[in-house]
Structure 1
Amino acid sequence: MPEGPTSGDDVFEGNRTLLFSVAYRMLGSVAAAEDTLQEAWLRWSRVDRSTVTEPRAYLVKLTTRAAIDRLRREKAAREVYVGTWLPEPLLTAPDVAEEAALADSVSMAMLVVLETLSPLERSVFVLREAFGFDHAEIARVLDRSEESVRQLAHRARRHVEARRPRFESDRQVRRRATERFLEAAVGGDLNALMEVLAPEVTLWSDGGGKVRAPRRPIEGADKVARFFAAVAGDAPPGSAFRLVEVNGGPAILVHLAGVPITVATVDVDPDGRGISAIHLIAAPEKLAAVTPDTT
């Protein structure tokens, strides 16, 4: 039976959540993921769908390839980015964290590590580790041999394991630490900040060259605590602070009249010594996807 006039749209929309999830993990950007889905749709619209036996797998293939193409185009731009490049934060539902693998693969810390992989390694790692595709399926997505995919998967996993942060995955521990950090930071309480930070804590900030933010990582509890104590009084009058779910875990959102101005996520040391890493995103173009519901 021939396809109806809207069946191609229906198939694509029915898989949109999966395709966006793949693209976002590949690119670390909500806007780029949406653009990649548009490119995948354009490619899909040109396909003779009567030849497609597995539409879901075919759409993943189109999306993955479009994401790889985009990563390769953006490589030079990210190398000359002003300051530290951090992924674009994404509001997530609390139940995302119930799926440990998915939550870990979308965490800010993991996305930072994935930035250090080649586009092919990243695609293999994302499809394999986050979505459970087997090597044969990935080989078909990338049009490579299964042995080549196994080698890419091995290299990517070894690279990620060597660089992935060690942080406490328990949600309640992270939430309590985030709450304590928020209270101390808003109050500019240097002593309270020192109590919640691990000695070797590192702060990464991304202002994108558009707003004031440290362009180099700040290391050590004393320096990080003094930074937040110093900026406590710099928040614009009327700024509101709230805990939200970002990238599969608790985060702090600062907004002014409903407009987001900063998102901060924290990682917690597994040995219970406090917060070991903070990722602070303030680049305006990266905050569109975290507009709070103020109703």
Structure 2
Amino acid sequence: MPRFTSPFDEAQLFYRDYKPATFPAPFRPNETHLNNEKQQPTLVFLHGWPMSSMMFEKLTLPLCETYRFRCIAPDRRGFGNSDWMGSKPVSAPIDYDVFAADLTYLLEKLDVGPFVFIGASMGPGEGVHTYMKSEYVRKNCRGLIGIGAALPFPLQTPENPTATSREAWDDILHNLRTNRAEYTKAALPAILGRDAGCKVSDELLQRYTDLVLRADAQAVERCVQLISSTDFTETLKKLESETDLPITCLHGDKDSPDSQVHVLKKMFPRLVVKIYKDAAHGLTDTHDEQVIDDILEFIRALKV
């Protein structure tokens, strides 16, 4: 399995790197993309909390094999096959700066060239933060697609009254700490959209449960704290005023709280928002074909 050593603390971090090949012949390739001589951007997938790069399997495989894109999907530290902490002693805490440093190091190491970030849940925040921190990323990133983006700030405040309350976040932390397996199984039907009428099988629920249970316990808890204490409002305003980076957000109309994407649109006028009907937070599985179509549309509009 491909891994790289984090420059922050020497943690061993895992990533998937799917590259289209001409032999053996791909399964049911799209002829337009098979014979496309135009340079295609690499697609860099940033998974949601508390999952791993496996959550993108229904996207990365067809986008690579059928549509001929290189797809890179790292496991954020503490999730999937990645360490939460390395062997090198450090005094600084693990935060979005560390996630950005890990991600930038990987992209530079692989020399990805032009690419598009595709992030789910906490992934778009990581992508935005990395973009603002890294000259290499700013030079090569051609756009960002958010899927159920946890932006701009998923914590209820007087200025942000429709977001999740501190009490609700604390309840999540309590339940994950005391009985992660039972709580995950109870919460996933609503999160993935079964309660909204989406086709979510028992096997899919078990697969996602296994992903959550595989994550490092401290990583699960610390990332909740990071998500609910990091306000990207000023960063997004700066991104809006200083760049022309195209951003699209795909969001389920049953995702809670769906109002955040409308808050995001107000502060980021050029943002394109696509609302999926009768969908929740599990778009990568429940609406994968529609998501792929929207990714392809986004890329067609780019000037790579």
| TM-score, normalising length: structure 1 | 0.27
User: If each structure's helix is expressed as a fraction of its own residues, which one has the higher value?
Assistant: 1
Q: Which has the larger radius of gyration?
A: 1
| TM-score, normalising length: structure 2 | 0.27
